[in-house]
């Protein structure tokens, strides 16, 4: 007979005593269970005790999280969170340096637990820590010389405890004084500072900027880009990551009118070249968090183009019209003619109209009208002028080459530039906020101060080359743009390290090559629509679906490492989940770092029987996506979120590392529950495998036309005299 579902068997430790094996009834109040444990060891005042996990987390057991206790869990009897908080609150104010240091070390560890954090904050613990930071340097100035390591550790533990306590979101960031901000900023501004103190200080500054507009202004006054730059020139990637995160936070929260000014400062301080030299081209791999911060910086930099992208050209603005005159002058080297007579003016207008037609503008008489559509607005004109000035030979060659072709075969430079700029803005998602989870930065955009303009220059030459290869006419304009988009997208997926490498990738992706790729993909995805083929598909489909199901379950058995995302990504923890080989239990547990390869079942502390799973929900239906401000309801995070619902009100929440893993897990879990696998990945796999299987079965019928209807069955013969009995 199976044990009652509300009874869990655990081991409970108490220092100096043998561990006690015990059955816990989850229906009983937690206080009653603690009293029973205390009575077993003859301990009085059970209200001063609590249970906590005996693993590395040391988290307290509460009425809220007690359902997470599983059979075989090891617990520890310890002092209650309130008692612990009270004792630590007193210990960190000790006059003994050693006692204070030990207390701060314990506080830094315990502050990760929200139950303890709440109790410590109730004692005004945050204010105490801030006072210690504000007055600490002066107070221990003399001691610092003789006890420098001790002082550094003390400050490090103080800042660590502060960061962990603030991460729970219990206290508002708006409550901190200017003196505290100045003190934290001073730790960052010092050239020689302990790495752990520098890390925590940068993390605090980033959180201040991201969580409070008032604090952003105060931090911006205390910290300059010039003071942050030296931290990027070191060798510690974690410090570099924190530094770029602070720069990104200042960039993100800056008012619109200040962003361009800040970008100019970053350019003056040569931030891009420093990141390229000391981060991207350093002799070490770039970790996920650094990749994310580089991606955020890339997005914020390109978002500076949004203003020009959304600005229409004013046909009456002489300065803007002069840019068009400059494009014409560079292309045709026309000298200014006297405009004394009316005849000369008419002649000039006619010449301008002819030249604007050669330049490929849609409106030959007033090209300014071509730039009234947003996007790309004035950004397209800026790109054209940059190309004309910085790649003058290529610009003149393209314009003159096309003006010498027949009208229908010329590649209109003006129209092409406008459409190309719009397309590049779509590819790079100019104007969109950075994703919380994306790591997709492109090293080549850090190799040039005007990377977007250079990107355009390469692509406009590609467009002209592709136009010639396609022998396109004006009616084929949209087709050419589609081919160029495909060429650019395919080249970008290879993550070229420089613009020159990007250019060489495009050289290999000629129109002929794109046709070959398309033909190959079309053959692989060819959809046979005749009735016999459809019937064959119907017959094969269950077998293919079973194959996909087995693959999904095998992947769940291998397991996946997930991130526990919170407001500050760098404090994320990892956890691993995998299915048992018999497909009956999900094993999961926390990890200290991202594992290399599979994690064995026995190292994962928690279990969830598949039979207990009630449902799998995704996206906005997930409990962790309904929480207030959960990851700012980021669209990409929502698309990767799913939850397993079990028991009465319990859930296991996931955020997949990418879309592929999301599909694998949602498919696998649905398969375990006997439901259909509905993901995009399943549809693609089904199409691919069905197509391959059908092609294999039809190999012997090559070049034979398969009729829509089966051949008629002939009439029975009048006699069977032709039958020969071998016996």
What pLDDT digit, counting tens, does each position of 678-712 carry? 999 999 999 889 888 888 887 777 666 677 677 88
> What CA–CA distance (Å, rounded) separates 533 from 698?
10
- Checking if the pLDDT of 629 tops 60, the result is no
Per-residue pLDDT at 335 = 43
> What CA–CA distance (Å, rounded) separates 47 from 110?
20
Confidence of residue 146 (pLDDT cuts 50, 70, 90): very low
Between 524 and 260, the more confident residue is 260
Confidence of residue 341 (pLDDT cuts 50, 70, 90): very low
Mean pLDDT of the chain: 86
Percent of the chain at pLDDT > 90 equals 46
> What CA–CA distance (Å, rounded) separates 188 from 215?
16
> What CA–CA distance (Å, rounded) separates 442 from 447?
10
Confidence of residue 628 (pLDDT cuts 50, 70, 90): very low
- 462-494 pLDDT, tens digit per residue, is 999 999 999 999 899 999 999 999 999 999 999
- 191-219 pLDDT, tens digit per residue, is 777 888 999 999 999 999 998 888 898 99
- 387-431 pLDDT, tens digit per residue, is 999 999 999 999 988 887 776 778 899 999 999 999 999 999 999
Q: For 89-93, 130-134, 142-146, 331-335, which range has the lowest pLDDT when averaged over its residues?
A: 142-146
Between 46 and 344, the more confident residue is 46
Between 66 and 530, the more confident residue is 66
Compute and round to an integer the Cα radius of gyration of the chain.
Answer: 34
Task: Determine the average pLDDT of the residues in 511-517.
Answer: 90
3-state helix, strand, coil split of the chain in percent (to 5) is 60, 10, 30
**Burial (0-12, 13-18, 19+ Cβ within 10 Å), 578:** buried
Confidence of residue 150 (pLDDT cuts 50, 70, 90): low
> What CA–CA distance (Å, rounded) separates 169 from 627?
13
Site of tokens 């504000």:
134
Six token digits for residue 287:
């970790």
Per-residue pLDDT at 334 = 45
Per-residue pLDDT at 242 = 94
Per-residue pLDDT at 484 = 96
Confidence of residue 566 (pLDDT cuts 50, 70, 90): low
Domains annotated for the chain, with CATH where assigned, are: 7-79 (3.10.20.90), 313-334+345-417+434-521 (no CATH), 541-683 (2.30.29.30)
Per-residue pLDDT at 634 = 63
- Checking if the pLDDT of 379 tops 60, the result is yes
Q: Over 187-253, what HEC string results? A: HHHCCCCCHHHHHHHHHHHHHHHHHCHHHHHHHHHHCCHHHHHHHHCCCCHHHHHHHHHHHHHHHHH
């Amino acid at each position: 007979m199976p044990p009652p579902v509300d009874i869990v068997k655990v081991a409970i430790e108490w220092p100096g005593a043998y561990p006690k094996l015990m059955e816990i009834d989850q229906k009983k109040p937690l206080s009653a269970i603690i009293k029973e444990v205390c009575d077993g060891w003859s301990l009085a005042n059970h209200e001063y005790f609590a249970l906590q996990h005996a693993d590395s987390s040391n988290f307290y057991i509460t009425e809220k999280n007690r359902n997470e206790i599983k059979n075989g869990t090891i617990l520890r009897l310890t002092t209650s969170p309130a008692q612990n908080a009270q004792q630590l609150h007193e210990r960190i104010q000790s006059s003994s340096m050693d006692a204070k240091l030990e207390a701060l070390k314990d506080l830094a560890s315990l502050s990760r637990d929200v139950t303890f954090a709440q109790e410590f904050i109730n004692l005004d613990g945050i204010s105490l820590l801030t006072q210690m930071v504000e007055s600490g340097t002066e107070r221990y100035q003399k001691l610092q010389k003789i006890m420098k390591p001790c002082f550094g550790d003390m400050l490090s533990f103080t800042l660590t405890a502060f960061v962990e306590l603030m991460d729970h979101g219990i206290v508002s960031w708006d409550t901190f004084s200017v003196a505290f901000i100045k003190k934290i900023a001073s730790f960052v501004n010092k050239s020689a500072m302990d790495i752990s103190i520098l890390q925590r200080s940068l993390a605090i500054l980033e959180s201040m900027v991201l969580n409070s507009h008032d604090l952003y202004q105060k931090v911006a006054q205390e910290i300059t880009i010039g003071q942050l730059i030296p931290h990027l020139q070191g060798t510690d990637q974690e410090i570099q990551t924190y530094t770029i995160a602070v720069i990104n936070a200042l960039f993100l929260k800056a008012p619109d009118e200040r962003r361009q000014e800040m970008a100019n400062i970053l350019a003056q301080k040569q931030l891009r070249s420093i990141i390229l030299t000391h981060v991207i081209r350093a002799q070490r791999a770039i970790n996920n968090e650094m990749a994310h911060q580089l991606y955020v910086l890339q997005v914020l930099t390109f978002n500076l183009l949004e203003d020009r992208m959304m600005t229409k050209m004013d046909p009456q603005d002489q300065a803007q019209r002069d840019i068009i005159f400059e494009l014409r002058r560079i292309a045709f080297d026309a000298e200014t003619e006297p405009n004394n007579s009316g005849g000369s003016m008419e002649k000039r207008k006619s010449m301008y109209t002819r030249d604007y037609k050669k330049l490929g503008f849609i409106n030959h008489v007033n090209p300014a009208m071509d730039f009234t559509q947003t996007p790309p607005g004035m950004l397209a004109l800026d790109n054209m002028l940059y190309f004309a000035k910085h790649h003058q030979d290529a610009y003149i060659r393209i314009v003159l080459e096309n003006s010498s072709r027949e009208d229908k075969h010329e590649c209109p430079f003006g129209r092409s530039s406008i459409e190309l700029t719009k397309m590049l803005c779509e590819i790079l998602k100019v104007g969109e906020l950075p994703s919380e989870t994306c790591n997709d930065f492109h090293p080549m955009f850090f190799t040039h101060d005007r990377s977007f303009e250079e990107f355009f220059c390469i692509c406009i030459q590609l467009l002209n080359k592709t136009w010639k290869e396609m022998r396109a006419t004006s009616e084929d304009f949209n087709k050419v743009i589609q081919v160029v988009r495909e060429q650019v997208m395919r080249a970008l997926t290879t993550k070229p390290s420089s613009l020159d490498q990007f250019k060489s990738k495009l050289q290999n992706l000629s129109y002929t090559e794109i046709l070959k790729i398309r033909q190959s993909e079309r053959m692989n995805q060819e959809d046979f629509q005749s009735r016999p083929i459809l019937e064959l598909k119907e017959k094969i489909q269950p077998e293919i679906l079973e194959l996909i199901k087995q693959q999904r379950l095998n992947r769940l058995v291998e397991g996946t490492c997930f991130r526990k995302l919170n407001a500050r990504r760098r404090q994320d923890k990892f956890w691993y989940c995998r299915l048992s080989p018999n497909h009956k239990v999900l094993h999961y547990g926390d990890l200290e770092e991202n594992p290399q390869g599979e994690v064995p079942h026995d190292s994962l502390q928690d279990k969830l029987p598949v039979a207990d799973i009630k449902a799998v929900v995704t996206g906005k239906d997930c409990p962790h996506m309904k929480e207030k401000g959960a990851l700012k309801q980021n669209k990409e995070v929502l698309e990767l979120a799913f939850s397993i619902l079990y028991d009465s009100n319990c859930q296991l929440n996931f955020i997949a590392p990418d879309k592929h893993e999301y599909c694998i897990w949602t498919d696998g879990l649905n398969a375990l529950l006997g439901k259909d696998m509905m993901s995009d990945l399943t549809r693609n796999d089904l199409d691919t495998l069905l197509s391959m299987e059908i092609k294999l079965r039809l190999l012997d019928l090559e070049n034979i036309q398969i009729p829509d209807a089966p051949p008629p069955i002939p009439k029975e013969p009048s006699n069977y005299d032709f039958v020969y009995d071998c016996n």
